[in-house]
Structure 1
């Protein structure tokens, strides 16, 4: 049975408070077509994509609420129908554990972006070229890999990297996407070595000269895709919103445009997404169901 919208909002707000984040309001006024709840993880790529989808849905008359959660809570929110969809599922590797746990309770709408990659990243000037070399050069990196939020799939994969390469002099430091890029910028400004957990697409590759460390054990796997995941019953409840989510697909270059816009001083990801949608209606029209 579908939950009453008010009950769902109260439950979702409680979930957000429990994970230390706040529920972000959608459109200022309710629209005739109802409300769509999008969950996302606070990565620059997912901030960009989720706000773009929000802008498109609002353009088509839906109210949209967004909630920033940890990766695990994001998946669980869709599985429990507290959120309607996410456009932030990294598959088949990064979020494999989450898909295995709740895959039978959600609907995979397929990839919305091809050509992703993840691994350990260093400045181009760094002499180290392979993960296998890290232990012998641990002092250059202060014995640390600078990571992101502990619930992220790339963090669990990096824990596997430490074991697979028997890295005894290197530890994984958790934080957030913002603290990771801040540490990277500081190191580059001072021409110091640093190793961070990284992924493509990400705006940092457009801003700095970086390289992935070789992964001969292939722990991080090959190229991935970012999928759209919907709650069960959404197609029946909101067929038009479901169709837009199902058709949403863009390129790393298009996502990169939005991510770079979001790095400007005083940038508002929501306003930037609306601007991008307005400037790229030819792309957006491909995501809309035929009248």
Structure 2
């Protein structure tokens, strides 16, 4: 009873705060760049909802990973909540480190690598060549500019994988191929990352990476362009405070996946309304 009452009180207080005329005023436009991945679709829409409720006009732009970093460094977009560090996107950051501002992690406990269904009878990337025929000679990838694809190319070099080709596709195609293979009981290997809804739907495992090409646990960071803190201090305070858990992100990703007809923005608003205590901690 106490937990329910507190939740209602916090929710009512947050709703009142966000509906205050002073906060609801037009505070200008802010543009957020993101990659078309399940994780970033979830996070960018949550941030968009919170900033809109504070009175900002928020534009979101889906771009390639390389374009996301370049646009931020050039000041063409204002912020992103989609930087996977210190492994996946480090080489992009190295090129523009002096032109962007790192606000720190918004989610911790991520991972990347090569993923297979648990019934696949190999456990290491080093075993892929010998089993190439079972995988139809393919590793199913995603957007060719993604840091995960660059790391996969490095892994293929490190392990001498020359019997399989890395196939460029999208996150949606990758998960569709994965689902079809599992339905038929076939072997399949895909580029994978955590958190992702596919780990909740299917019984999967990462292939061991003894050379540590993919690195260990990662974090997703928030970055802004230079000067945004001076121009929009309240918005940057929200971006700086924005932090959630893999479980919270996964909850929204599952909502997006369960009903393909639903709008991720509408789902993000439902998630924000259902978690007032979390959102309250992000406010200035």
The 1-side partners of 2:239 and 2:70 are apart by 19
- Alpha-carbon deviation of 1:197? 0.2
Alignment of 1:231 onto 2:221: no
SS of residue paired to 2:139: strand
Alignment of 1:274 onto 2:275: no
Q: Which residue of 2 aligns with 1:135?
A: 129
- Alpha-carbon deviation of 1:31? 5.1
Q: Which residue of 2 aligns with 1:222?
A: 216
1:107-128 residue CA offsets vs partner (Å, 9 max, x unmatched): 0000000000000000011101
The 1-side partners of 2:120 and 2:262 are apart by 31
Unaligned runs of 5+ in 2: 1-23
- Larger % of helix: which? 2
- Off by >6 Å, runs of 4+ in structure 1: none
Partners of 1:85 and 1:231 within 8 A in 2: yes
Alignment of 1:69 onto 2:83: no
Partners of 1:38 and 1:66 within 8 A in 2: yes
- Alpha-carbon deviation of 1:217? 0.6
Selected match of 2:117 from 100, 105, 123: 123
Q: Given the two structures, how large is their TM-score scaled by the length of structure 2? A: 0.91
The 1-side partners of 2:110 and 2:258 are apart by 24
Q: Which residue of 2 aligns with 1:5?
A: none
Q: Which residue of 1 aligns with 2:236?
A: 242
Across the aligned residues of Structure 1 and Structure 2, the Cα RMSD in angstroms comes to 0.9
Unaligned runs of 5+ in 1: 1-29
Selected match of 1:264 from 245, 258, 270: 258
- Alpha-carbon deviation of 1:171? 1.2
Q: Which residue of 1 aligns with 2:153?
A: 159
Q: Given the two structures, how large is their TM-score scaled by the length of structure 1? A: 0.88
- The within-5 A match list for 1:1-291 is 32-265=26-259, 266-289=261-284
- Alpha-carbon deviation of 1:183? 0.2
- Alpha-carbon deviation of 1:32? 1.3
- Alpha-carbon deviation of 1:264? 2.0
The 1-side partners of 2:264 and 2:169 are apart by 21
SS of residue paired to 2:257: coil
The 2-side partners of 1:117 and 1:31 are apart by 40
Partners of 1:31 and 1:63 within 8 A in 2: no
The 2-side partners of 1:94 and 1:156 are apart by 8
The 2-side partners of 1:32 and 1:177 are apart by 35
- Alpha-carbon deviation of 1:59? 1.1
1:20-54 residue CA offsets vs partner (Å, 9 max, x unmatched): xxxxxxxxxx9511111000000000000000000
Partners of 1:145 and 1:194 within 8 A in 2: yes
The 2-side partners of 1:72 and 1:255 are apart by 24
